[in-house]
């Protein structure tokens, strides 16, 4: 078994001799506890000792020692940490930080920003670790921090990781009464699942929902399948290929300042296929939101553009935005016609661009 000191004032137990491993009898456990108490009283006479914890020995030869943590920043709110753990964690200083909430894609990107990530993939005769288990751990810690505002600090160190999964050997957390609860604590608004809705367009059932970071691959497929004229109408120029950075910018959004609704249908392989998207970016004062729409070739003239714009108008009205605006190429007759049917005012700007604007009827109910 393993014997560890239990004290609120001792963060790093090993530094004060507060950990003894491989104890195989009650007599040795009692003697180890006695000696441990003597050492700690000498090194940290101010520490209040609540007792000891006794745990089974965890034997994971060859496992990597990692750290997963969370803390609360005065400005940004809850933040998450991942890196190489162990007793030398401060010396190694191999860590990366992210904002909750996390999903699988963001958890993977957090891990990939550390040096230890290359070793986790396996080398020589050392197999790759179960990376999915690490990602799940990060997502679960992220969810815990989002759901329980009283937890203001958390450390799991070491977190053993190997090809069989992960195992937390030691953990500590700090709690205090929560001053705020809900999404307002977070620097990044969580995925607003309540905005999902089903609708029927042209005889097909579509899911209209906010975009997520994991939508990047299917977003690439969608944009690559769009007609070159539609791409030019949407981006005011011919884009032959979208980079990963551009696609990440499209799919990893701050829901507080920007919203993108995608329409998806079930694909032939059972997955989801994007067939249209409407996007709006709001100014810091929530006075104006600039929107843009693009619809896949299969859904032109079937009412999807109307459904997407209606969704965005309702969303902006609900969050109290004063005006919805956009810029449309003068030759983009379908978009100008759609804007006219919604009551947008139009005026010719310059270089063949028409500015459209729609004052919104602000709702009393503002989404969280």
pLDDT at 317 over 90: yes
CATH 3.40.50.300 fits 193-359, yes or no: no
Cis ω for the linkage preceding 101 (within 30 of 0): yes
Residue 368: predicted pLDDT? 40
What distance lies between CA 83 and its chain's CA centroid? 17
**Which DSSP string do the residues of 184-222 spell out, in sequence order?**
GG-SSPPP-GGG-EEEEETTEEEEEEE--GGGHHHHHHH
Task: State the CB neighbour count (10 A cutoff) for residue 55.
Answer: 12
Going from N- to C-terminal start, the domains of the chain cover 2-55, 64-185, 193-359
Which fold is adopted by the domain 64-185?
Answer: D-amino Acid Aminotransferase; Chain A, domain 1 (3.30.470)
Distance of alpha carbon 316 from alpha carbon 97, whole angstroms: 32
Q: For residue 91, what pLDDT band results from cuts at 50, 70 and 90?
A: confident
Looking at residue 93, its pLDDT comes to 87
**Of all residues in the chain, what percent carry a pLDDT higher than 90?**
71
Q: What is the reported pLDDT for 179?
A: 76
Residue 132 has pLDDT above 60, yes or no: yes
Q: How many CB atoms lie within 10 A of CB 300?
A: 14
Task: Please name the residues in contact with 140: beta carbons below 8 A apart, sequence gap of 6 or more.
Answer: none
User: Residue 361: is its pLDDT beyond 90?
Assistant: no
pLDDT for position 198: 96
pLDDT score of 328 more than 70: yes
Token pair for residue 18?
A: 């507060």
pLDDT at 113 over 90: yes
Q: Is there a contact between 324 and 309 (Cβ–Cβ < 8 Å)? A: no
In this prediction, residue 98 has a pLDDT band, given cuts at 50, 70 and 90, of very high
* Cβ(21)–Cβ(33) below 8 Å: no
pLDDT digits (tens, 9 = 90+) for 23-66: 999 999 999 999 999 999 999 999 899 999 999 998 888 899 99
Per-residue pLDDT band for 363 (boundaries 50, 70, 90) equals low
Which segments within 51-150 are labelled E, that is strand? 51-55, 64-73, 77-84, 95-98
User: Does pLDDT of 208 surpass 90?
Assistant: yes
pLDDT in tens, 149-203: 999 999 999 999 999 999 998 888 999 998 777 677 887 788 899 999 999 998 8
pLDDT tens-digit readout, 214-229: 899 999 999 999 999 9
pLDDT score of 154: 95
Q: How far apart are CA 327 and CA 124, in angstroms?
A: 56
Tell me the average pLDDT of the chain.
91
- Residue 131 sits at the vertex; the CA angle it makes with 129 and 132, to the nearest 5 degrees, is 135
pLDDT for the residue numbered 362: 66
CA of residue 270 relative to chain centroid, distance:
25
pLDDT at 364 over 60: no
DSSP state at residue 303: T
**Domains 64-185 and 193-359 alike in fold:** no
**What pLDDT is attached to residue 170?**
87
| Residue given tokens 């491989």 in the structure block | 22
**Alpha-carbon span 272 to 268, nearest angstrom:** 9
Q: What is the mean pLDDT of residues 286-308?
A: 94
**Architecture, CATH, for domain 2-55:** 2-Layer Sandwich (3.30)
At 366, the pLDDT band (50, 70, 90 cuts) reads: very low
Reduce the DSSP state of residue 56 to 3 states and report it.
Answer: coil
Q: pLDDT at residue 271 above 90?
A: no
Residue 324, token pair as written in the block: 């919805």
């Amino acid at each position: 078994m393993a014997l560890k000191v239990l004290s609120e004032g001792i963060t790093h137990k090993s530094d004060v001799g507060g950990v003894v491993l491989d104890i195989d009898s009650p007599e040795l456990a009692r003697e180890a506890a006695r000696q441990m108490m003597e050492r700690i009283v000498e090194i940290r006479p101010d520490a209040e000792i609540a007792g000891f914890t006794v745990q089974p020995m965890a034997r994971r030869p060859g496992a990597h020692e990692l750290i997963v943590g969370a803390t609360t920043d005065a400005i940004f709110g809850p933040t998450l940490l991942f890196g190489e753990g162990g007793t030398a964690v401060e010396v190694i200083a191999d860590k990366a930080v992210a904002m909750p909430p996390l999903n699988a894609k963001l958890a993977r990107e957090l891990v990939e920003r550390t040096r230890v990530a290359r070793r986790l993939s396996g080398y020589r005769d050392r197999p790759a670790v179960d990376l999915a288990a690490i990602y799940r751990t990060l997502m679960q810690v992220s969810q815990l921090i989002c759901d329980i505002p009283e937890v203001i600090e958390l450390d799991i160190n070491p977190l053993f990781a190997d090809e069989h999964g992960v195992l937390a050997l030691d953990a500590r957390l700090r709690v205090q009464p929560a001053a705020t609860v809900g999404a307002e604590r977070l620097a990044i608004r969580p995925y607003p699942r309540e905005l999902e809705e089903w609708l029927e367009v042209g005889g097909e059932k579509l899911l209209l929902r906010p975009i997520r970071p994991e939508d990047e691959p299917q977003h690439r497929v969608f944009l690559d399948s769009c007609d070159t004229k539609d791409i030019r109408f949407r981006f005011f120029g011919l884009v032959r290929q979208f980079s990963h950075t551009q696609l990440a910018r499209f799919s990893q959004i701050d829901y507080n300042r920007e919203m993108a609704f995608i329409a998806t249908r079930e694909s032939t392989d059972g997955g989801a296929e994007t067939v249209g998207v409407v996007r709006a970016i709001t100014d810091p004062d929530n006075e104006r939101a600039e929107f843009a729409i693009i619809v896949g070739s299969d859904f032109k003239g079937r009412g999807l553009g109307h459904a997407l714009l209606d969704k965005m108008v309702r969303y902006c009205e609900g969050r109290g935005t004063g005006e919805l605006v956009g810029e449309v190429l003068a030759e983009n007759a379908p978009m100008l016609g759609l804007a006219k049917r919604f009551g947008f005012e139009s005026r010719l700007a310059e270089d063949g661009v028409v500015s459209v604007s729609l004052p919104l009827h602000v709702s009393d109910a503002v989404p969280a």
